Structure 1
């Protein structure tokens, strides 16, 4: 796990603000629990961590920036490469990333699986390794959320339900950090499409409602993707003609404003859905 740096960063901030371990007991954090956290032996709940940081006049965003200074930056840069390759449908680049990192330590291996999962199937061992890692996550930082945003839709549905419950027990906390919110929305978008393909209407509807709760006024791209996911849902469960019309209208709008890469990504999902529908009818 990568939790040691969370505790160390917190300890540095606590000392900087001249606070003792006992100064956080009013938040329900015992001295022993905080000491274990700072020494990387355990984690504390995300909401509790947020309150503890507020006591030091530190936002989750600032805390995240401090943590991400160093080795974690390398992870973020690779995830950014994966995102670009995904939007440009660059399979060769995704294959390169997979080959470059699949033989390295576990955290790089999991990133490699993200790249692979966007152009082909993951095998049972790779999926199990991802699930084992995510199942042990207590603090969902950029690394963990990036894994989920890229390949969450490929994991076991029962496992995903458990993960979703954990995330949304602290959903309002994630709205405070833009990049966290974007990653959660990417995960929800893919899961809505996945549940629609699986004919699981209750689960798809639930995630549509959750995605609405997370939206902020400035989240334009997330609104576009949610609109597409909602139309995809409508096509799958409510009214196929209306859903198809809505998806095509959105694609035309994206073409008109020159959002080429985003349109191409959504068009691939639209084409896949139409192909899937035709096969089921023949």
Structure 2
């Protein structure tokens, strides 16, 4: 039975939450329909499944992990590997991901995401990404993961289009942790990119949008935003003050043992100082 695993998992969750088959009638799911689903005889509509899971305080993502015995989908695992390599500054791993997957159509965009963290993308790769993202109506983990890793590599015109699109309804992403973290990562990289391009108004706008997305527990994203804000201060307001703030933040990260985040931001700091020294020569 194709649906057995889905139904069995749902059944176990329902029992765990002490709910009966009849408790889902208010969602338009009859007792018979739910029984058939749990016994692997049929599926229920995606929207109703989503609502039923919400009734049990379970996200679709959590549900998929339970079904797959805690194993993430292949694409999520790849993005996780990319993220770890990025924070560890492991260019070799990123290169291997690119080389191993760029020829596989279903993983090609993920391969670009890996490459974009250590090298410029070619015009064809950027065009491929933009064609795909242009057609996105509903942004999920896959699309936001692409954006978080290499959104800053896209053309300026397309980036403006993306920002307008995503922030036409920011609450759709702000309320979901996974989405919020990825969107914040994109904004962080774009603030630095706009600073490097001398676009103060654009950088300031994204700092403001970033602030709107925060939830109380978003500590890491607040740290990165603080760094981006100090980077902005160094670039456009007061170089000495911005430098002092960045160094203070880096010291704090070392003090609490956040070594990989420290190393990542330290690379940005070092690059910024080198850029400043070149401009003064």
TM superposition score category, shorter chain reference: 0.7 to 0.9
2:166 counterpart residue number: 167
Measure the CA separation in 2 of the matches of 1:242 and 1:61: 45
1:77 counterpart residue number: 77
2:115 is the alignment partner of 1:111 = no
Distance 1:197 1:15, change over 3 A: farther
Name the SS for the 1:170 alignment partner. Answer: coil
Structural mapping, 1:111-260, within 5 Å? 111-260=110-259
70-79 vs 179-188, which deviates more? 70-79
**1:18 pairs with one of 2, 17, 28:** 28
Shift of 1:18: 3.2
Indicate if the aligned counterparts of 1:127 and 1:155 stay in contact, CA closer than 8 A. Answer: yes
2:54 counterpart residue number: 58
Shift of 1:108: 0.6
Indicate if the aligned counterparts of 1:103 and 1:109 stay in contact, CA closer than 8 A. Answer: yes
**Can you list the C-alpha shifts for 1:135-175, whole angstroms capped at 9, x where unaligned?**
11111000000000000011111111111111111211212
**Can you list the C-alpha shifts for 1:52-85, whole angstroms capped at 9, x where unaligned?**
8886673897234456767971100000000000
Measure the CA separation in 2 of the matches of 1:267 and 1:16: 53
2:91 counterpart residue number: 91
Superposition misfits of 4+ residues, deviation over 2 angstroms: 14-20, 52-61, 63-72
Measure the CA separation in 1 of the matches of 2:90 and 2:224: 20
Shift of 1:255: 1.1
If asked which structure has higher relative contact order (CA below 8 Å, sep 6+), I would say 1
Shift of 1:258: 1.3
Alignment TM-score, normalising by the size of structure 1 = 0.78
Q: Where does structure 1 lack aligned partners over 5 or more consecutive residues?
A: 1-13, 21-37, 40-48
Measure the CA separation in 1 of the matches of 2:54 and 2:131: 32
Structural mapping, 1:243-282, within 5 Å? 243-282=242-281
1:28 counterpart residue number: none
Name the SS for the 1:208 alignment partner. Answer: helix
Q: Where does structure 2 lack aligned partners over 5 or more consecutive residues?
A: 1-23, 31-44
